Chains A and B, each alone.
Chain A
Amino acid sequence: MAKLIIPTPLRKFTENQSSIETSEGTVEQAIKGLANNFPELQKHLFDADGNIRSFVRIYVGEDDIKALDNQNTKLDSSSIVSIIPAIAGGIN
């Protein structure tokens, strides 16, 4: 199963779990599934229109999903999805 890495500030809402396994097929499905399982994450991950907040960085492996297929990026059993807090820009 793919693995979602939870950033420290959000672990309060995932019962202190640092990673969560997912069998979802895309990044969007995985993040929505995460928020469904832990509803307090909703406001931190999604904007009022239900889209992933534009400044929440999501990586699959080493790649920003913006350089892949964005929220439709496909996941397989070896995928590691990282949710990165944006301090002031991304990982450079």
Chain B
Amino acid sequence: MFISEEKLQEEVTHLSDFIGNTPLFPLNNILQKERVKLYAKLEWQQFGGSVKARPAFNIIKNAIKNGELDKEKTLLDASSGNTAIAYATIGASLNIPVTICLPSNASKERKMLLKALGAEIIYTSEFGSTDEAQNVAMGLYRSDPGKFFYADQYNNPNNWKAHYYGTAEEIITQTKGEITHFITGLGTTGSFSGTGKRLKEYNSAIELIALQPDSALHLMEGWKHLETAKVPGIYHDKLPDRYEEIDSYEALEMIRLCAAKEGLILSPSSAANLSGALKLADEIDEGVIVTLFPDSSDKYSEIINGLFLS
């Protein structure tokens, strides 16, 4: 079925109403410190189901606008899960085919969701993480550049710009400009880089804290241990005021705590952000801390079962 470029642009505009603008949730039960406030953006509450809806949509929107992507081409990228699901969700809505290079040790739910949304999955080595999946995607693109639009989330500036123009502006508005600290984990680094860059421009006194796993082998889906991983091209290592490390076991305990105290059942990466934010809250006497909760526990049944049922 032929659909005009104008019609496709209309469909993209329609979808934009459902991307971003996530609630800023006050964590008043888990942190009770008179002059320190802690908030988290509930990023799963948007079309695409996670924080990755923002970069996925922005990459697709700009590729369509620039003529790099249409319904005759296939969107191709490497992902450990959430970006893949966001691409597949948006792709299904716009009738754009999606091919994902996915490490084969991704969770069962991720594979199931991608299949349900009609994405083609190319499994890559369980030993190689998304670093190897990126190499496979690049190879596939080079073998047939006419067939694919290679979205390349790790190097595409429309990744961090989604957060620069979206997430950061929302945080400034929602905190009435009172944010003093922004803290979140590093994966593609788009959310940290884009949000952090805009917040620093707004108020250079806002402190930016980057979190990473304490080990190459960890539970925070999407996070990168920069010492042992391929550093994304969009990352600026001078942006963080400081780095902190999170142990996977801390994150698991934080899933329990947040479920009990706030009624939010978090993913490991959201819980790791919360762990970092609470340690920061202990260190300061006053301030407004904002973090991101990239996704909920919905796609982590194995971990949640292990925590609560066994």
> Majority SS of interface residues in chain B?
loop
With A53-B248, A89-B300 known to touch, is A10 a contact of B228 (CB < 8 Å)? yes
Residues of B within 8 A of A56 (CB): 217
A85 in the interface, Cβ–Cβ < 8 Å?
yes
Please measure, in the bound complex, the distance between the C-alpha atom of A88 and the C-alpha atom of B213, giving whole angstroms.
14
Residues of B within 8 A of A7 (CB): 126-129, 216-217
Min CB gap B130→A, angstroms = 8
A1 in the interface, Cβ–Cβ < 8 Å?
no
Pair A87/B217 contact, Cβ less than 8 Å? no
Pair B80/A87 contact, Cβ less than 8 Å? yes
Please measure, in the bound complex, the distance between the C-alpha atom of A87 and the C-alpha atom of B80, giving whole angstroms.
7
Min CB gap B157→A, angstroms = 26
Please measure, in the bound complex, the distance between the C-alpha atom of A34 and the C-alpha atom of B108, giving whole angstroms.
30
How many residues does chain B have at the interface if contact means C-beta atoms less than 8 Å apart? 38
Please measure, in the bound complex, the distance between the C-alpha atom of A85 and the C-alpha atom of B129, giving whole angstroms.
8
Measured CB to CB, the nearest residue on chain B to A47 is B249
Pair B228/A9 contact, Cβ less than 8 Å? yes
Pair B216/A87 contact, Cβ less than 8 Å? no
Residues of A within 8 A of B127 (CB): 5-8, 82, 84-85
Within 35-92 of A, Cβ neighbours of B (below 8 Å) are at 43-45, 47, 53, 55-57, 82-92
Min CB gap B100→A, angstroms = 13
Min CB gap B83→A, angstroms = 13
Q: How large is the interface on A (under 10, 10 to 19, 20 to 34, 35 or more residues)?
A: 20 to 34
Please measure, in the bound complex, the distance between the C-alpha atom of A84 and the C-alpha atom of B128, giving whole angstroms.
9
Please measure, in the bound complex, the distance between the C-alpha atom of A9 and the C-alpha atom of B129, giving whole angstroms.
8
With A8-B131, A87-B129 known to touch, is A45 a contact of B111 (CB < 8 Å)? no
Residues of B within 8 A of A10 (CB): 216-217, 228
Measured CB to CB, the nearest residue on chain B to A55 is B219
With A8-B129, A87-B80, A91-B126 known to touch, is A44 a contact of B215 (CB < 8 Å)? yes
Please measure, in the bound complex, the distance between the C-alpha atom of A55 and the C-alpha atom of B218, giving whole angstroms.
7
Residues of B within 8 A of A89 (CB): 105-109, 300-303
Min CB gap B223→A, angstroms = 10
Pair A85/B221 contact, Cβ less than 8 Å? no
Residues of B within 8 A of A43 (CB): 214-215
Residues of B within 8 A of A55 (CB): 217-219, 248
Please measure, in the bound complex, the distance between the C-alpha atom of A90 and the C-alpha atom of B219, giving whole angstroms.
11
Pair A88/B300 contact, Cβ less than 8 Å? yes
Pair B132/A88 contact, Cβ less than 8 Å? no
* Given A7-B126, A53-B217, A85-B126, 7 further pairs, Cβ under 8 A: A8-B128, A12-B227, A43-B214, A85-B218, A88-B303, A89-B109, A92-B111
Q: Name B's A-contacting residues (CB within 8 A).
A: 80-81, 103-111, 125-129, 131-132, 214-219, 221, 225, 227-229, 248-249, 267-268, 299-303
12 contacts between A and B (CB under 8 A): A5-B127, A7-B127, A8-B129, A43-B215, A44-B217, A56-B217, A84-B105, A85-B216, A87-B107, A88-B221, A89-B107, A91-B104
